[in-house]
Amino acid sequence: MSVVFYGIAALTVAGGLAAVLLKNTVHCALAVAVAFAGLALLFLSLDAQFVGFAQILVYVGAVAILIVFAILLTRGAEPVTGGVFSKSWLVGLVIAAGVFAVLGWAVLQSAHALPLVTAAPAVTVQDIGVALVGRYVLPLEIVALLLTAATIGAVIVALHEKERTR
Amino acid sequence: MGVASPLAAYLLVAALLFAIGLAGALTRRNAILVLIGIELMLNAANLNFIAFWRYGPHPEALTGMMFAIFSIAVAAAEAAVGLGLVIAIYRYAKTTDLDQMNRMKG
């Protein structure tokens, strides 16, 4: 593996760790944006240009901004009292470590069966577009409907109800 | 440790990100940070899809890439609804602290 891969992987993991560990909620949102950008670079290094740029547009552009908005709307930026971690943090940490141990063990045990370096697949954006409106047209329509419903639902859920103001 | 296959290296990074996201979702008290952890887990799964697509036997079939594209779209919808729910709960309970949301505790 190249130095570039290790650099991007270290950036991504560091962003993820910072997002989980930092005290200030706004800093966590910025760190998770770094992790999303690192993942986009990993996608680009895997010759998946379309998904890499979609990742930047959707995650770095939209989801990270949405998270910052939610933090500011809920006054999450104010300092918290009594620690940022839950009372049962040790159980969660043990579960996460166990999951990583099992996943890492499975990957390392099967590493000899995994394929070695292969030629970069020659897939253009045109191929992706043709596949989206050809073989995958029904999932595409369902996702369009889901996104519409989710947008309307999110607005209705977060809407301020004047008559029931307490 | 020398990992022979580049796919194994990507899978290890994805497993590490998934574990970090799971730890965040299970240990943080702020509901928004729990959502951030869930987003990290979803992204780790996407990385697995793309890595298997790249090193799989038939990348021209685009299966893993399509799954990742649809997964990104569904994750965006999930983030919008999840953050809307957090804002609605904050308006009702005046907090995003999950340890204080014990109304349904038996």
What does the domain layout of chain A look like in residue ranges? 1-79, 121-166
- Of A25-39, A101-115, A131-145, the range with the lowest mean pLDDT is A101-115
Q: How many angstroms away from the CA of A56 is the closest CA of chain B?
A: 11
- Class of residue B37 by CB neighbours under 10 A (exposed 0-12, middle 13-18, buried 19+): buried
Instruction: Please tell me the class of the A1-79 domain.
Output: mainly alpha
Identify whether B1 is part of a domain.
no
Identify whether B2 is part of a domain.
no
Identify whether B106 is part of a domain.
no
Q: How many angstroms away from the CA of A103 is the closest CA of chain B?
A: 6
The tens digit of pLDDT for each residue in A16-26 reads: 999 999 888 89
3-state SS string for chain A: CCHHHHHHHHHHHHHHHHHHHCCCHHHHHHHHHHHHHHHHHHHHHCCCHHHHHHHHHHHHHHHHHHHHHHHHHCCCCCCCCCCCECCCHHHHHHHHHHHHHHHHHHHHHCHHHCCCCCCCCCCCHHHHHHHHHCCCHHHHHHHHHHHHHHHHHHHHHHCCCCCCCC
Note whether B22 contacts A112, CB cutoff 8 Å: no
Identify whether B81 is part of a domain.
yes
**B34 and chain A: CB distance < 8 Å anywhere?**
no
**What are the chain A neighbours of B43 within 8 Å (beta carbons)?**
35-36, 39, 55, 59
Q: Mean pLDDT of all residues in chain B?
A: 87
**What are the chain A neighbours of B58 within 8 Å (beta carbons)?**
none
**Quick count: other Cβ atoms within 10 Å of Cβ A122?**
9
Task: State which residues form the domain around B31.
Answer: 7-100
Q: Which of B:37-56 have CB within 8 Å of A?
A: 37, 39-40, 43, 46-47, 50-51, 53-56
Instruction: Please give the span between the terminal C-alpha atoms of chain A, in angstroms, as a whole number.
Output: 59
Question: What is the predicted ipTM?
Answer: 0.89
Confidence of residue A119 (pLDDT cuts 50, 70, 90): confident
- Residue-level pLDDT at A37: 94
Number of independent structural domains in chain B: 1
**Quick count: other Cβ atoms within 10 Å of Cβ B12?**
19
CB B85 within 8 A of CB A157: yes
- Class of residue B14 by CB neighbours under 10 A (exposed 0-12, middle 13-18, buried 19+): buried
- Residue-level pLDDT at B89: 85
- Of A73-77, A99-103, B67-71, B82-86, the range with the lowest mean pLDDT is A73-77
Q: At residue A164, does pLDDT exceed 60?
A: no
Note whether A150 contacts B33, CB cutoff 8 Å: no
**B15 and chain A: CB distance < 8 Å anywhere?**
yes
Q: Whose CA is closest to B83, among A57, A12, A110, A153?
A: A153
Q: Whose CA is closest to B79, among A96, A77, A146?
A: A146
**A164 and chain B: CB distance < 8 Å anywhere?**
no
Mean pLDDT of A66-84: 78
Between A and B, how many CB-CB pairs are < 8 A? Answer: 259
Query: Which residue in the set A59, A91, A157 is minimally distant from B84, CB to CB?
Result: A157
The encoded tokens of residue A2 equal: 């190249």
Dist. CA B90–CA A60, nearest whole Å: 25
Exposure of B102 in the CB half-sphere (CA atoms within 13 A)? 5
For residue A151, CA distances in Å to A62, A154, B64 come to 13, 5, 26
B51: CATH: 1.10.287.3510
Note whether A121 contacts B17, CB cutoff 8 Å: no
The encoded tokens of residue A58 equal: 């959707």
